[in-house]
Structure 1
Amino acid sequence: MAYSQKTGTSIGGSDMKEQMLWLSSVLGGILICVIVYHVTGAISSVCFKVYSKLQSVQKVEWNNRGFSTVHAFIVAVAALHLLLFSDLFKEDLGKGYIVDRRSTYSNTTFGISIGYFLSDLAMILWHYPALGGKEYMLHHGLSLYSIILALLSGQAHMYILMVLFSEITTPFVNLRWYLDVSGEKKSRIYVYNGIALFFGWLGARIILFIFFFRHMYDHFDQVKTIFPLGFYGLLTVPPLLALMNVFWFWKIVKGLIKTLSRSRHQN
């Protein structure tokens, strides 16, 4: 793995081989979404009776949530490995500023994620507002902006990976929707999933973001060396995403309270 030691203030310096890796990763991300979308539909039509009873737009969302779940697993595992199990961001190894460290692995992860967000955003716009409203468009737009800047500049990879790890909550969100349209809102698995979503969201989208901002504060001398567009983006985009996470967390809490109350009355 090659580590970036840039401390400059402009985007650039990538060679043709690296640019081809970026492009192939983005296209690979899009291809994964297309394949999983169709595979999800094919498998669901055979394994789940409820699938054939869904409206056409619900089938689109069902398949769409299939590839969003796969993307969540891919980027969460990659982020976890890079952040905790690799030596890429260890501070005591003398590899230069943490904000300037990157690898082929992190570049590839970002490219795949860009491919996913482009695919999902295109579907949201095409079927608007059936697959999501303005808040989803804002979330995807901010995510694309941040990931693309990190990929092109080779900076702030650690922080973007932290944000991408928060996608680990997506499978719980999708499972809740699947159970809802399948008429399983009163089932035990719906309750257990709601509890898992609560703790997952609390850990990955609330506590992790607190650590994120604390890490930025402790390393602000390094953060200031990021090129201007990336620096100001890092100061504005994560706080906006954090506010959205808090808003959605409040809705999750209210939904969980309602679900637990209904379950207790049934018992």
Structure 2
Amino acid sequence: MESYRYQAEILVKDYLLADPFIPYTSLLCGIFMCKMAYDSSQLISSVYFKGFASLTKIQRIEWNNRGMSSAHAIFITSMSLYLVFFSDLFSDRAEGLITFRSSNLSTFTLGVSVGYFITDLAMLFWLYPSLGGMEYVLHHSLSIIAISYSALFGEGQLYTFMVLISETTTPGINLRWFLDTVGMKRSSAYVLNGVAMFFAWLVARILLFIYLFYHVYLHYDQVEQMHTIGYTLAFLVPISLFIMNMIWFGKILRGLKKTLAKRQ
């Protein structure tokens, strides 16, 4: 047993967590975690939610898919907040250009996120358009390209994590769908969820993006030293997602107004 334990430690240290392999092993971990989250959602829901069995097949798939996306959102939001605001990786005390800073932990985190987006995109294509239309395909495609580049080449990871903080709104969006699916659209929980989602979206997907653009402006001398691909992605992806966020924010605002009007 001691020999097997030693060999396992060597395998993890020299291969699975070796610097050159981290982007790839973390991607596989992300896919595996998605599978575990999907199956866990199905198991827990079938045991504790009596109405789960009465849902249609596509509703059960989407239910578990949203459980999976909520698990990823909690993970990536927690890690992004830590790396951006609490760790020393991107602080002013650290040495080197801020656009070229990375660590094994930050790269591993990005790889896990790529694994999720690949898994979810595969499900989108498999059941298209039941789980989402072209806007979701565009969102996931841009995310995969930008996060993969940042993980593989270590460029612009700060801005990648800033964008990923916007995933904090995902559990609220999924909860709204759950409440609607189980017939609680007229409940107080549905209204409170709508109000919370409005403010969360405003902070995480509007104000935070504005701060990101301001940060890029302040550190433009460092941003322009990135490779052409990284430089392009640093502007193209946040701007594209910001436009999509504004469009969705308008829909959230109209939906909230309609819900509040019905309760008066």
TM-score of the superposed pair, with normalisation by structure 2: 0.92
Following superposition, the deviation at residue 17 of structure 1 comes to 2.2
Alignment of 1:125 onto 2:125:
yes
Q: How does 1:171-250 map to 2 (within 5 A)?
A: 171-250=171-250
Unaligned runs of 5+ in 2: 1-16
Other-structure match for 1:254: 254
* Alignment partners' CA distance in 1, 2:237 and 2:111: 19
Tell me the percent identity.
47
Letter of the 1:259 counterpart:
T
Q: After the TM superposition, which parts of structure 1 deviate over 3 Å for at least 4 consecutive aligned residues?
A: none
The Cα RMSD (Å) is 1.0
**C-alpha contact 2:80 2:164 (8 A) present in aligned 1:** yes
Following superposition, the deviation at residue 19 of structure 1 comes to 2.7
Q: How many residues align?
A: 248
* Alignment partners' CA distance in 2, 1:168 and 1:111: 18
Residue 263 of structure 2 aligns to a residue whose secondary structure is: helix
Residue 107 of structure 1 aligns to a residue whose secondary structure is: helix
The CA deviation string for residues 28-60 of structure 1, in whole angstroms up to 9 with x for no partner, is 110111111111111111111221111101100
Other-structure match for 2:110: 110
Following superposition, the deviation at residue 94 of structure 1 comes to 4.7
Report which structure shows greater RCO (CA 8 Å, sep ≥6).
Answer: 1
Unaligned runs of 5+ in 1: 1-15
The CA deviation string for residues 74-121 of structure 1, in whole angstroms up to 9 with x for no partner, is 000000001111111112x25111001111111011010000000000
Q: How does 1:17-96 map to 2 (within 5 A)?
A: 17-91=18-92, 93-96=93-96
The change in CA–CA distance for 1:90 and 1:258 in structure 2 (over 3 A counts) is same
Following superposition, the deviation at residue 140 of structure 1 comes to 0.1
Letter of the 1:130 counterpart:
S
The CA deviation string for residues 110-160 of structure 1, in whole angstroms up to 9 with x for no partner, is 010000000000000000000000000000000001001111111100000
Letter of the 1:260 counterpart:
L
